[in-house]
């Protein structure tokens, strides 16, 4: 058997939720060790643990942006790393756990949504040379002045991709309870199809528009560093999906869904306020669509309801903004984004026309070179996903 050089394997919260699941993950690592000379493991906190810590922080009125918040919510990964190292030891493999500061993984000081700036690999390489499997806490980083940071929701993906790039590893494997990348969330559409491969850009659009398979930052990092990724289930043993430069080969590669949208009303001091707002949020990996007003100094931003607290906090600090507030609306809106690398205004209008023909309301739509997004009634979301999925030929 050919021994390849290095692999990084990341296990998400559901894959390490119990001791039995940690043992199962350890067995996956053991199989990789027979194929690869070097194996590095990245772990998330056990499922539900981080959410519990967030609840504790809420009880003390601490939120993203507070350094102590990051110290608290990142502590679950320490437990998992220790347990995984013990599980590997129990099956005869040398392993040791690493917190982010022990590597170190250096980030900026954007607490709660930090970006990785550098990964120092000398300590890990020493272990690899000794035949030891490093088990690294995902989600964590460290500032230049030694404060713990977190990498945002799904940040362990970024940890794994950054380590893969820094080590020059052959591949980064992302394990969860999902078999891979689907044409749409299987929980929303039973006709969803597993994609054997998908390009970085296709995956980036899917993630940015609401798909939960991988963190958006991690896909951007992978695309920039040309890191090959395999997304697979730690339970089923299937082949999963490959994310690389190779495109899916489909006209439409998938649908991304945001079930609950929120509307943020903006009043600006300058005419370019809307563009500045979108750019600011985008740099913090908060994606939105803009409903422009006839007055260039007014606009409404549509974003995932979960993004509202962080978005309001960021926007309220900007000198070009006169005022910002979440707008209370009577209707429940959702967003469906159709991902296509050859999109056009004509294609977007055809999608809207198809719904009109079926007497299904679309409040408004947005399009770009890589996607068309439809804002639709929340109570019609499931039926509209099915219609779109079939119309785009994604059920085959």
Can you tell me which residue has the tokens 């019609």? 380
The pLDDT profile of the chain, 396 residues, written as one tens digit per residue, is: 444 699 999 999 999 999 999 999 999 999 999 999 999 999 999 999 999 999 999 999 888 889 999 999 999 999 999 999 999 999 999 999 999 999 999 999 999 999 999 999 999 999 999 999 999 999 999 999 999 999 998 999 999 999 999 999 999 999 999 999 999 999 999 999 999 999 999 999 999 999 989 999 999 999 999 999 999 999 998 999 999 999 898 999 999 999 999 999 999 999 999 999 999 999 888 999 998 777 889 999 999 999 998 899 899 999 999 999 998 776 789 999 999 998 988 989 998 998 989 999 999 999 999 999 999 999 999 999 999 999 999 998
Amino acid 4: pLDDT: 64
- The CATH number covering residue 20 comes to 3.40.1160.10
In-domain check, residue 116: yes
**Domain end marker among 277, 312, 327:** 327
Cα(113)–Cα(175) distance, rounded to whole angstroms?
Answer: 22
357 Cβ neighbours under 8 A, 6+ residues apart: none
Structural contact between residues 196 and 202, judged by C-beta atoms closer than 8 angstroms: no
Mark residue 336 as left, alpha or beta (left: phi above 0; alpha: psi -120 to 50; beta: remaining). beta
> What global pTM score does this model have?
0.92
Same domain, 173 and 277: no
Same domain, 26 and 163: yes
- The CATH number covering residue 314 comes to 3.30.70.260
**Domain end marker among 303, 327, 351:** 327
Same domain, 173 and 308: no
Count structural domains, the chain.
Answer: 2
In-domain check, residue 58: yes
DSSP 8-state assignment for residue 45: P
**Domain end marker among 129, 162, 177:** 177
Same domain, 166 and 274: no
User: Containing domain of residue 319, as a range?
Assistant: 261-327
Same domain, 171 and 265: no
Structural contact between residues 340 and 253, judged by C-beta atoms closer than 8 angstroms: yes
Same domain, 268 and 172: no
In-domain check, residue 252: no
Same domain, 266 and 137: no
Listing DSSP states for 50-67 in one string gives HHHHHHHHHHTT--TT-H
Q: Where are the alpha helices (DSSP H) in 98-190?
A: 122-129, 155-167
Same domain, 158 and 63: yes
Amino acid 136: pLDDT: 98
Please choose, from the candidates 136, 227, 121, the residue with its C-alpha nearest in 3D space to the C-alpha of residue 173: 227
Structural contact between residues 230 and 244, judged by C-beta atoms closer than 8 angstroms: no
What is the separation of C-alpha 282 from the centre of its chain, rounded to a whole number of angstroms? 14
Question: 216-225 and 200-208 are packed helices; what angle lies between their axes, rounded to 10 degrees?
Answer: 160
Same domain, 8 and 128: yes
Same domain, 18 and 165: yes
């Amino acid at each position: 058997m050919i021994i390849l050089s290095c692999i990084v394997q990341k296990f998400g919260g559901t894959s390490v939720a119990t001791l039995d699941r940690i043992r199962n993950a350890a067995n996956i690592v053991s199989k990789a060790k027979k194929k690869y000379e070097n194996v590095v493991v990245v772990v998330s906190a056990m499922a539900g643990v981080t959410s519990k810590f967030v609840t504790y922080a809420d009880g003390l009125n601490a939120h993203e942006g507070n350094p102590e918040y990051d110290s608290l919510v990142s502590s679950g990964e320490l437990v998992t790393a220790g347990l995984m190292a013990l599980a590997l030891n129990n099956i005869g493999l040398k392993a040791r756990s690493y917190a982010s500061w022990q590597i170190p993984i250096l980030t900026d000081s954007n607490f709660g949504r930090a970006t990785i700036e550098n990964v120092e690999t000398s300590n890990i390489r020493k272990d690899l040379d000794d035949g030891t499997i490093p088990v690294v806490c995902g989600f964590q980083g460290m500032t230049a002045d030694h404060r713990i940071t977190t990498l945002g929701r799904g940040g362990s993906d970024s940890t794994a991709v950054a380590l893969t790039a820094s080590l020059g590893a052959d591949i980064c494997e992302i394990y969860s309870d999902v078999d891979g990348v689907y044409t749409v969330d299987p929980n929303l559409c039973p006709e969803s199809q597993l994609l054997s491969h998908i390009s970085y850009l296709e995956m980036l659009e899917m993630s940015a528009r609401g798909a939960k398979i991988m963190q958006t930052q991690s896909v951007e990092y992978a695309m920039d560093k040309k890191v090959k990724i395999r997304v697979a289930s730690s339970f089923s043993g299937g082949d999963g999906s490959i994310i690389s430069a190779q495109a899916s080969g489909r006209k439409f590669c998938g649908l991304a869904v945001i079930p609950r949208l929120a509307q943020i009303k903006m009043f600006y001091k300058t005419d370019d306020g809307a563009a500045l707002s979108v750019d600011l949020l985008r740099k913090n990996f908060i994606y939105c669509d803009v409903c422009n007003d006839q007055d260039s100094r007014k606009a409404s931003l549509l974003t995932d309801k979960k993004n509202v607290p962080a978005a309001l906090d960021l926007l309220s600090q900007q000198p070009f903004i006169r005022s910002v507030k979440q707008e209370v609306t009577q209707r429940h809106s959702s967003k469906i984004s159709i991902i296509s690398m050859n999109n056009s205004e004509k294609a977007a209008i055809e999608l809207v026309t198809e719904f009109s023909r079926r007497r299904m309301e679309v409040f408004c739509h947005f399009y770009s070179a890589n996607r068309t997004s439809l804002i639709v009634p929340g109570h019609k979301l499931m039926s509209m996903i099915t219609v779109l999925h079939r119309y785009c030929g994604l059920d085959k």
